[in-house]
Amino acid sequence: MSSLRPILLVEDNPNDVELTLGALRQANLANPIVVAHDGDEALDYLFRRGRHAGRSGPDPSVVFLDLKMPGTDGRQVLQSVRQSTALHHLPIVVLTSSREEADLLETYRLGANAYVVKPVAFESFVAAVSKLGFFWALLNEPPPSA
Amino acid sequence: MTLSLEKKIFAGLAGAVLALLAIGATTWWNASRLVQTFRWVDHTQEVIRHLGDLLNEVLTMQIGARDYVLTGDDTVLESYRRGAANSRHLVGELRRLTVDQDAQQQHLARIAPLLEEAALKMQERIDVRRSSGLAAVAALPPASAAAVAQIRREVGAMHLFEEHLLATRSAAVVRNLELTMAWAVLGGLLAILLLASAAGIIRRDFRRRRDAERALERNRATFESLFENAADGLVVVGHDGHIVRLNRTAETLFGFAREELIGMPIERLIPDEFLHAHQQHRARYMDAQRVRQLGGHLGLQARRKDGTVFPVEIMLSPLETEEGRVIMATVRDITRRKAAEQRIAQLNDDLQRQNDQLAVAVKELEAFSYSVSHDLRAPLRHIDGFANLLAQHAQEGLDETSRRYLDTISRAALRMGRLIDDLLAFSRTGRTPVNVAPVAHHDVVAGVIRDLQASAFPAAPAWHIGPLPTLPGDEAMLRQVWFNLLENAAKYSSKSPGPCVEIRAEKSADGAEWIFSVRDNGVGFDMQHQSKLFGVFQRLHAASEFPGTGIGLANVRRIVSRHGGRTWAEAIKGQGATFYFSLPVDSAKVTASARVGPAVAVLS
C-alpha cells in the first residue's frame, strides 16, 4: 500500500480541509492524503526539507492547491514547483473559491494542470472533489518519479 | 492647330494688307494700261489730223498751181511750193506715225507716187504757162485732177481705217477706265473694311484695358480694405529692417501711431531678450523664398510702446514689390489663446488626477470583488457542508423539525451563494470590454428560446417573434439581455392560462435606433414600483412565488446602457408586462457608450 502515491492537499482553512477530506473519503480512494496548512509547509514536503527533510516515499500523484493563503500563497507554490527540475511535471490542480478571470489566466500561465472552483453546495462539492481524486489519483498516469 | 486671338487678328490684318497691295498693283497696272490706250487714241487722232492736213496741203498746192496758171502771178507760186513741200513732209510724218500699220503703209506707198505725179503735172503746166502763156496750157493733157482725186480716195480710206482704230481704242479706254474704277472701288471698300476692323479692335482693346484697369483698381481697393481690416497685425518690413507699411490692427497691437511706426526699425517692437536671435535670423528671413510660420510654441513675444510684452505668433511672407523684396509679418496676439491653453492644461491635469483617483477606486473595487468572490463564498460552503455532515452524522437521531432547520440553513447558504455569484457577474458586466460586431438579433432570440425550452417551467409559453434587425453590439452581452428578458417573460407568465410571449422590434421615429419589446400575459406589476424594476436585488415578487435573485434586469439595464441604449417597462397588474430596450443603429455611438470606461460602469 505504501507504494501508492499520496494526494497532497494544500489548504489553510481547517473547515475546507475537513470538508475536502470528507469528500475524498467518500470517493473511497486508497491513496494516503497529506495535508499542508500553508504554502511553506507544502514546499517543505515537496522538496523534502525542513520538517519533511529526509521524507521517504514517492512524490504525490497530484497536488490540490488553494490559491489564497497567508504567507507563501498558491501562486508562489506553483511557481516554485514549475521552476524546479525534479518536480517540474508534478500534476497540480488549483482548487479555489475564486472564479476571477485574472486568477484563471495567471495560474494557467504559471503551469497549473487544472482549475476547479469549489462549489458552494455541499453535494456538488463532494461530487467535484471525488471526481478529481478519482481522476488524478487513479486514472491519470503521473510522470515518473525522480 | 489653335491660334491665339491676337495671332488671328494679326493674320487677318496681314491678309487684308496683302489684298490691298494686290488691288493697288492691279489698279496701277490698269491705270498704266489706260494711259497707254489714251496715248494710242492721241496717236490715232494725230494721224487723222495729219491726214486732214495732207488733204489741205494737196488742195493748197492744187489751188496755188491753178491760180498761177490763171494769173501768171509769181507770188501765188509760193503757196503751191509750200503745199507741195508740206504734203511731202506730211506723207513722211504719216509713214513714221503708221509704221506699225501695214495697210496704212500700203496706202501711203500709193499716195507718195500719186503726189509726185500730181506735182509733176502741176509743175509742167506752171512751166508751160511761164514760157508759153495761158493759151499753151489749154493744149496740155488734162491736169493733175485724176491723181489728186486718187490721193483723196487713198486718204479717205486711211481716214476710215484710223476712224475705226479710234473707235476700237476709245472702247478700250472706256473698258480700261471701268476696270480701273472697279478695282479702285474694291480697294477703297477693302481699305474701309480694314480701317473699320482696326478701329473695332482698337476700341475693344481700349475697352478691355479700361476694364482691366478698373478691376485692378477694385482689387487694389479690396486688398487695401483687407489689409487694413485684417484681424491680425500686418507689418511690412523693407530690406533694411525698417517698417514700410502697417495696418490699423498693428497700430492697436503695438500702441504706436502709424506715423511713428513708418520708418521705425522693426527691432523696436521686439523685446530685448529676442533681439540677438532676431538679428541673427533676419537676413535668413529676408532671403526666404517661402512663407515661414513662427508658431506660438516658440514662445515669441512682442513689445508695445509702453514697454509691456505680449505673446505672439508670427507668419513671415516674402513679397516682391517695385521697391524690391519686402517681408510681410502677420502678427497675432495670442494672449487669450495662451491663457485658454493654460486653462485647458489645468483642466487636463485635474481630469488626469480624477482619472488616477478613479483608477485607484477601480482597483479597490476589483480587490473588493475578489475578496467577495473568494472569502464570502468559503463560509457559505462551510455552512452547507457542515449542515450536511451534521445530518449525515446524526442519522436517525434528528427529529423532523431539526431536519427542517438544517435544510433551511443549507438553502439559505446556497441562496446567498447564488446572490454572490450574480453580484459578481453583474460587476463583470460593467468591467468586461464591449466587443462591437454586427449582431443578428433574430438568431440570438431563436437560440435563447431553444435554451429556455430545455429548462423546466410549469407551462412553456407560446413564442411570437416579429422580424428583428441586425445591429452593432457585443453578441455575448446582448444574448444575456435576451436571456434575462425572455426568461422573466416565461417565468412570470407561466402561471397564466395560455402563456404567450411576443417579441417585436421597430425603428424609432428619427431612425437612429431600434426599439425592442418583450410582451407577456403574465402577472404584470404595479406601475408605481417600476422605478425599482432595474435596480440591483430589487424584486417585485416573493422568491417563494417566482424564484430569482433580482439581478437580471439590473444586468439588462447595464448592458443596454453600455450599448448606448435605454430600458423601460409598462405593465398592468395581473394582465402582463412589456419590457422595452433600445439600441443605436450607429456602431460609432455604441463604441462611444461602451468606452465610457470600467470605472463609471462599476461605480454606477
| B286-331: pLDDT as tens digits | 776 777 787 767 788 889 999 899 989 888 888 888 878 888 889 9
- Report yes or no: B47 and B94 within 8 Å, Cβ to Cβ: yes
- Report yes or no: B578 and B569 within 8 Å, Cβ to Cβ: yes
Query: Which residue from A minimizes the CA distance to B411?
Result: A121
Q: Which of residues 402-441 of B touch A (CB under 8 A)?
A: 410, 413-414, 417, 421, 424, 428
pLDDT at B556: 92
| B141 vs A140 pLDDT, higher one | A140
CB contact under 8 A, A97 and B381: yes
Query: In which residue are the cell numbers 486732214 written?
Result: B52
- The one-letter amino acid at A97: S
Query: Which residue from A minimizes the CA distance to B432?
Result: A101
Least confident of B133-137, B187-191, B377-381, B564-568: B133-137
pLDDT at A145: 61
C-alpha cell at A42: 507544502
**Which of these, B156, B75, B86, lies nearest to B119 by C-alpha position?**
B86
Query: In which residue are the cell numbers 500534476 written?
Result: A91
Which residues in chain A have Cβ-Cβ distances shorter than 8 Å to B380? 120
Query: In which residue are the cell numbers 487513479 written?
Result: A138
- Does residue B566 have a pLDDT over 80? yes
CA distance B31 to B37: 10
Please list, in sequence order, all residues whose beta carbon lies within 8 angstroms of the beta carbon of residue A92, skipping any fewer than 6 positions away. Answer: A62, A63, A65, A78, A81, A111, A112, A113
State the CB neighbour count (10 A cutoff) for residue B180: 19
pLDDT at A65: 95
Query: In which residue are the cell numbers 529526509 written?
Result: A54
Tell me how far apart the 2 most distant CA atoms of chain B are, in Å.
226
C-alpha cell at B341: 491653453
| B177-226: pLDDT as tens digits | 888 888 888 888 888 888 888 888 889 889 999 999 999 999 999 988 99
Beta strands in B171-254 (DSSP E): 233-237, 243-246
pLDDT above 70 as % of chain B: 96
Q: How far is B386 from chain A (nearest CA, A)?
A: 8
CA distance A87 to A70: 23
CA distance B406 to B394: 11
- Report yes or no: B419 and B536 within 8 Å, Cβ to Cβ: no
Q: In which element (H, E) is residue A61 found?
A: none
- Does the ipTM surpass 0.95? no
- Does residue B561 have a pLDDT over 60? yes
Q: In which element (H, E) is residue B229 found?
A: helix B145-229
Which of A21, A100, A122 to mutate against chain B (most B CBs within 10 Å)? A122
Q: Find the chain A residues whose C-beta atoms sit closer than 8 A to any C-beta of B.
A: 13, 15-16, 19, 22, 67-68, 96-101, 118-123, 125
Which residues in chain A have Cβ-Cβ distances shorter than 8 Å to B373? 97-100
Which residues in chain A have Cβ-Cβ distances shorter than 8 Å to B378? 13, 15-16, 97, 118
Query: What is the pLDDT averaged over residues B346-373?
Result: 84
Q: How confident is the model at residue A146 (pLDDT cuts 50, 70, 90)?
A: very low
- Does residue A6 have a pLDDT over 70? yes
Mean pLDDT of all residues in chain A?
88
CA distance B175 to B37: 10
CA distance B582 to A54: 69
pLDDT at A1: 41
> Is the Cβ of B386 closer than 8 Å to some Cβ of chain A?
yes
pLDDT at A48: 92
Query: What is the pLDDT averaged over residues B143-162?
Result: 85
Which residues in chain B have Cβ-Cβ distances shorter than 8 Å to A13? 378
CA distance B87 to B493: 163
Query: What is the pLDDT averaged over residues A122-142?
Result: 89
Alpha carbon separation from A89 to A39, A94, B8, B314, B427 (Å, rounded): 18, 15, 99, 71, 37
* Interface size, chain A vs chain B, as Cβ–Cβ contacts under 8 Å: 59
Please list, in sequence order, all residues whose beta carbon lies within 8 angstroms of the beta carbon of residue B336, skipping any fewer than 6 positions away. Answer: none
C-alpha cell at A23: 469528500
Please list, in sequence order, all residues whose beta carbon lies within 8 angstroms of the beta carbon of residue B539, skipping any fewer than 6 positions away. Answer: B548, B550
Q: How confident is the model at residue B516 (pLDDT cuts 50, 70, 90)?
A: very high
Phi, psi of B436 (to 5 degrees): -85, 125
CA distance B115 to B94: 14
* Three-class secondary structure assignment of B11-45: HHHHHHHHHHHHHHHHHHHHHHHHHHHHHHHHHHH
| B445-459: pLDDT as tens digits | 999 998 888 776 666
pTM of the predicted model as reported, rounded to 2 decimal places = 0.49
Q: How confident is the model at residue B601 (pLDDT cuts 50, 70, 90)?
A: very low
Q: Is B217 left (phi over 0), alpha (psi -120 to 50) or beta?
A: alpha
Phi, psi of B487 (to 5 degrees): -65, -45
Q: Are strands B567-571 and B577-584 parallel, antiparallel or unpaired?
A: antiparallel
| B398-441: pLDDT as tens digits | 888 988 999 999 988 988 888 888 887 887 787 778 888 999 99
What residues does A93 pair with on adjacent strands?
Answer: A64, A114
CB contact under 8 A, B378 and A97: yes
Query: Mean pLDDT highest for which of B33-37, B350-354, B488-492?
Result: B350-354
Query: What is the pLDDT averaged over residues A48-69?
Result: 89
